[in-house]
C-alpha cells in the first residue's frame, strides 16, 4: 500500500483484510493496519474540509482501530520498531477527538433546540456560541497537527513499515502461538474475560468504571472484527451484540460529559454575572432545563444497562462465540 489516490481507493473498497488461518500473526497484523491506515488517509480530505462530520468520525475510528491493533499484535513486533507509530496515532486521535466530542455536543444541543419554542431559543445562544467557539479552536488545532512536519513524517514512515514484510517483527520461540489459527482464540477469550470481569461490580459501578468497561467492549469488538476473515458467520452476531452494549455506554458517556460541561458553563456564567445588576442578568432557567434533560438521559441509560449486559453473559453468547472460533480448528 502507498499513499497514491488509486491505491487508497482500492484499499477503501476492500471488505476484508485478506487474513488466512496460517498467516504469521505479525503479518496478519500488518494487513489489518494497512487497511485501517488507508481508511484514515482516505477520510483525511473530508476531515480537513469539515463539511461532513462523519468524515472526521470515520478517520478517528480508523485511528482507534489501529491503536487497538497495535495492542493486540504488540508481542509480535519489536517495541522500538513500533513505538513511533503508536505515538503518531495517539497524537492523531487526540487532535481528532477534541473536534469530534464538540461535534456530538453541538448536534445534541441543536436537536434539543428544535423542540424548544422559537421565542425561547435565544436563551441558549450564549451556550451555543461558546461551544461553537471551542469547536472552531479545536478544528484549528487539528488542522495545525495535520499540516505539521510531525504528522507528515509519521504517515510517510508508517507507509514504509506497512509495505515492508517482516519489518520490525520479533522472532518468537516455536512453542509460542505464531499463526492466526493459534493466536486468535487466545486473544479473543482474553478480551472477553476482561469484559466479563466487570460482572462482580456492575451492580454498584460508577460511571468511571462503566467508561472502562466501554473501552474493553470496544477492544473485544475490534479484536473479533480483526479476525473476521477466518471466523464463521456467527462472528457477525457476536459483533452486533457487543456493539449494542458499546453504543449504549457511549451514549451514557456523552450524556455524562454534557452534564459536566453544562454545569461548568452555569457556574462560570453565574460568576461572570454576579457583579451585574439583577435586571441585566441572563435567566439561568433554560440551562437548568437542558441540564435536567441530560441528567434524566444519563439516569435512564444507567438504569437500562444491566438488562442489556445479560446478552453477553448468557449461554447463547458463549455458544455463538465458540461456533465462530470453531472455523480455526476445522480450516
Mean pLDDT per block of 10 residues along the chain (331 residues) reads 55 68 95 95 96 96 97 95 97 96 94 89 87 96 97 96 92 76 96 94 86 96 96 95 96 96 90 79 84 96 93 92 88 58
Global model pTM greater than 0.95: no
CATH topology of domain 1-162: CHAD domain (1.40.20)
Same fold, 1-162 and 179-331: yes
Q: Enumerate the domain spans of the chain.
A: 1-162, 179-331
Q: Are 154 and 84 in contact (CB under 8 A)?
A: yes
Of 3.40.50.300, 1.40.20.10, 3.40.50.970, 1.20.1560.10, the CATH number of 179-331 is: 1.40.20.10
Q: How far is CA 245 from the centre of its chain?
A: 14
Q: What's the start-to-end Cα distance of the chain, in Å?
A: 28
Q: Are 262 and 127 in contact (CB under 8 A)?
A: yes
What is the per-residue pLDDT for 175?
52
What is the per-residue pLDDT for 131?
94
Q: Phi/psi of residue 283, each to 5°?
A: -75, 120
C-alpha cell at 319: 455458544
What is the per-residue pLDDT for 1?
47
282: three-class secondary structure by DSSP: coil
Single out the residue of 133, 107, 137, 109 nearest to residue 121, CA to CA: 109
Amino acid at each position: 500500500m502507498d499513499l497514491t489516490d488509486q491505491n487508497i481507493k482500492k484499499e477503501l473498497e476492500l471488505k476484508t483484510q485478506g487474513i488466512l488461518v496460517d498467516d504469521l500473526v505479525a503479518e496478519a497484523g500488518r494487513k489489518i493496519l494497512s487497511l485501517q491506515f488507508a481508511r484514515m488517509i482516505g477520510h483525511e480530505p473530508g476531515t480537513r474540509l469539515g463539511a461532513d462530520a462523519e468524515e472526521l468520525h470515520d478517520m478517528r475510528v480508523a485511528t482507534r482501530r489501529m491503536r487497538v491493533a497495535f495492542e493486540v499484535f504488540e508481542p509480535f513486533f519489536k517495541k522500538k520498531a513500533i513505538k513511533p507509530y503508536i505515538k503518531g496515532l495517539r497524537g492523531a486521535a487526540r487532535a481528532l477527538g477534541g473536534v469530534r466530542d464538540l461535534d456530538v455536543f453541538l448536534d445534541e444541543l441543536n436537536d434539543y433546540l428544535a423542540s424548544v419554542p422559537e421565542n425561547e431559543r435565544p436563551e441558549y445562544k450564549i451556550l451555543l456560541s461558546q461551544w461553537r467557539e471551542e469547536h472552531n479552536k479545536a478544528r484549528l488545532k487539528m488542522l495545525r497537527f495535520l499540516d505539521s512536519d510531525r504528522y507528515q513524517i509519521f504517515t510517510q514512515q508508517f507507509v514504509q513499515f506497512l509495505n515492508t514484510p517482516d519489518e520490525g517483527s520479533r522472532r518468537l520461540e516455536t512453542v509460542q502461538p505464531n499463526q492466526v489459527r493459534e493466536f486468535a482464540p487466545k486473544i479473543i477469550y482474553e478480551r472477553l474475560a476482561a469484559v466479563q470481569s466487570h460482572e462482580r461490580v456492575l451492580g454498584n459501578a460508577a460511571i468511571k468504571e462503566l467508561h472502562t468497561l466501554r473501552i474493553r467492549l470496544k477492544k473485544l469488538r475490534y479484536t473479533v472484527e480483526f479476525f473476521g476473515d477466518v471466523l464463521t458467520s456467527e462472528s457477525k452476531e457476536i459483533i452486533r451484540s457487543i456493539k449494542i452494549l458499546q453504543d449504549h455506554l457511549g451514549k451514557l458517556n456523552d450524556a455524562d460529559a454534557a452534564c459536566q460541561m453544562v454545569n461548568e458553563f452555569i457556574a462560570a456564567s453565574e460568576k461572570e454575572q454576579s457583579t451585574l445588576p439583577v435586571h441585566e442578568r441572563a435567566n439561568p432557567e433554560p440551562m437548568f432545563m437542558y441540564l435536567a434533560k441530560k441528567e434524566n438521559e444519563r439516569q435512564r441509560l444507567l438504569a437500562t444497562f444491566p438488562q442489556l449486559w445479560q446478552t453477553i453473559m448468557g449461554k447463547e453468547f458463549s455458544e455463538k462465540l465458540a461456533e465462530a472460533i470453531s472455523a480455526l480448528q476445522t480450516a
